[in-house]
Structure 1
Amino acid sequence: MGADLQASLLDAFADPELGSLSAIQRAELSHGAWIDVLPGWLSGADQVYERLAADVPWREERRQMYDRVVDVPRLLCFYGESDTLPLPILEEARDLLSEHYTEELGEPFRTAGLCFYRDGRDSVAWHGDRLGRGNAEDTMVAILSVGEPRILALRPRPGSLSGPVSSTIRYPLGHGDLIVMGGSCQRTWEHAIPKASGRVGPRISIQFRPRGVR
């Protein structure tokens, strides 16, 4: 299904466990956008990767691209509000995030979208999660990464900001790292997983979102 995972020495024998969110660090972006980052929030993340890679009912998608239909360069699976997540540790992660951000978000995280980047050829283009409420309202998207690190890049949305434009920001996320995009981030900034060359191991991202955000 892709390149083999090169296990982290810290995760090789650790049972999956979530740490405290008190150590999360916030970076203010611009125009009301921000990101919170917590490396290694999930210990034992390689075991979680192996279970998800084997047990999730991954599906391939095809999309219209100009005058042709092309394969989406990653595997996908979506869990709605009434669906049981594939591992209890993911239910725990969603609940802890909901509790931590309840004052700012004002509602719980309800859905989980999973993406499987099998190797460096898999990617996602620049976009914001603007389907539904995210197009007009401030919201949050929390992303937990397992497997080997891949770059998550962020940049201001072209044409959406006035004044100085910040450079592209890049975070290598994997092995249990957490990033939360909040404020106006989905409307005024974009994010992407660029293609990568050389030996690139597999990564799975779990995106927790509130109701009506995709």
Structure 2
Amino acid sequence: MTMGLQGSLFGETEEAALRPLSALRRTPLGDGAWIDVLPDWLAGADTLFEHLVEHVPWHAERRRMYDRVVDVPRLLCFYGEADELPDPLLTEARSALSEHYADELGEPFRTAGLCLYRDGRDSVAWHGDTIGRGSTEDTMVAILSVGAPRSLLLRPRGGGQTVRQALGPGDLIVMGGSCQRTWEHAIPKTGKPVGPRISIQFRPRGVR
């Protein structure tokens, strides 16, 4: 798959490398939910983006929505516990997150779900990762963003003020505590000209 990323046009591509997680900043959301954010966790994010675009076996899905079946507005690929991740840097990232959150989470991150947003028409609707243990237990979902910037929106279930978190290339956001069952999150469509983006979601066992 060929997909140009505007950022790589402005100079040589920087070698991809992870920075320390010690600079993570936590924001309480309420109802036991919180987010940790670390801008530029991954240096040289364009390098990883280009590798994933070419080497991940992306596929489209269709899902039932009310009374009809519709196309999922993004491309997907899921890596289970026994699957080799498509780039060693993702294995390193998952291990670093597992080590950093070991005391708080009490278990490692085990899976990786990848989403490719091809342009502003691709999106994900309001939801929580509540398939499995996330519907009843506190857990964490860590998201590494590469490619073009997009905004992640969060809002309390049942209504309330929306929180907008801009995610640029290499940025990390971790949604923790009760976030998956007491809050919802979304990547909205946009009419603005935006480039492609890949979201890499690391989750513990039994959380989807």
Q: Which runs of 5+ in 1 are unaligned?
A: 160-164
Query: CA separation in 2, counterparts of 1:40 and 1:12?
Result: 18
On the 8 A contact 2:151/2:165 being kept in 1, the answer is yes
Report how far residue 174 of structure 1 moved.
Answer: 2.6
The alignment partner of 1:89 has SS state of helix
Query: After TM superposition, which residue ranges in structure 1, 4 or more long, deviate above 2 angstroms?
Result: 1-4, 8-13
SS in structure 1 opposite 2:137?
coil
1 CA distance for matches of 2:33 and 2:59?
Answer: 32
Alpha-carbon spacing, 1:11–1:111, altered in 2? closer, same or farther (3 Å): farther
Does the 8 Å contact 2:2/2:54 carry over to 1? no
TM-score (ref. length: structure 2): 0.96
Partner of 1:5: 5
- Per the alignment, residue 184 of structure 2 pairs with 190
Contact (CA 8 Å) 1:11, 1:44: kept in 2 or not? no
Q: Deviations over 1:86-137 (max 9, x none)?
A: 0000000000000000000000000000000000000000000000000000
Secondary structure at 1:29 match in 2: strand
**Closer/same/farther in 2, CA of residues 126 and 134 from structure 1, 3 Å limit:** same
Query: For the Cα contact (< 8 Å) 2:17–2:42, is it kept in 1?
Result: yes
TM-score by length of 1: 0.93
Shift of 1:9: 8.0
Structure 2: distance between partners of 1:135 and 1:145: 24
**TM-superposition CA deviations, 1:156-179 (whole Å, max 9, x none):** 0116xxxxx4x2111121310000
**1:40 aligned onto 2:34:** no
Q: Which residue of 2 aligns with 1:162?
A: none
Q: Which residue of 2 aligns with 1:204?
A: 198
Is the partner of 1:155 in helix, strand or coil?
Answer: strand
Q: CA deviation digits over 1:43-68, x for unaligned, max 9? A: 01001000101110000000111221
Name the CA distance, whole Å, in 2 between partners of 1:176 and 1:106: 26
Aligned position for 1:91: 91
Indicate the residue corresponding to 2:150 in structure 1: 150
SS of the residue aligned with 1:95?
helix
**Superposition deviation, residue 10 in structure 1:** 8.9
Q: 1:71 is matched with which residue?
A: 71
Is the Cα–Cα contact under 8 Å of residues 152 and 165 in structure 2 kept in the other structure? yes
Aligned pairs, number: 208
Q: Deviations over 1:179-199 (max 9, x none)?
A: 000000000000000001121
Question: Aligned in 2, Cα 1:169/1:10: closer, same or farther, shift over 3 Å?
Answer: farther
Q: CA deviation at 1:4?
A: 2.9
- Closer/same/farther in 2, CA of residues 45 and 30 from structure 1, 3 Å limit: same
Q: 1:8 Cα shift?
A: 5.9
Question: Does structure 1 residue 58 correspond to structure 2 residue 58?
Answer: yes
User: 5+ unaligned residues in a row in structure 2: which ranges?
Assistant: none
Instruction: Report if the CA contact (8 A) 2:149-2:197 is conserved.
Output: yes
Work out the CA distance in 2 between the residues paired with 1:61 and 1:33. 30
Alpha-carbon separation, structure 1, partners of 2:194 and 2:201? 21
Partner in structure 2 of residue 134 of structure 1? 134
The worse-fitting range, judged by mean Cα deviation, of 5-14 and 181-190 is 5-14
The CA RMSD over aligned residues, in Å, is: 1.6
How much has 1:80 moved relative to structure 2? 0.1
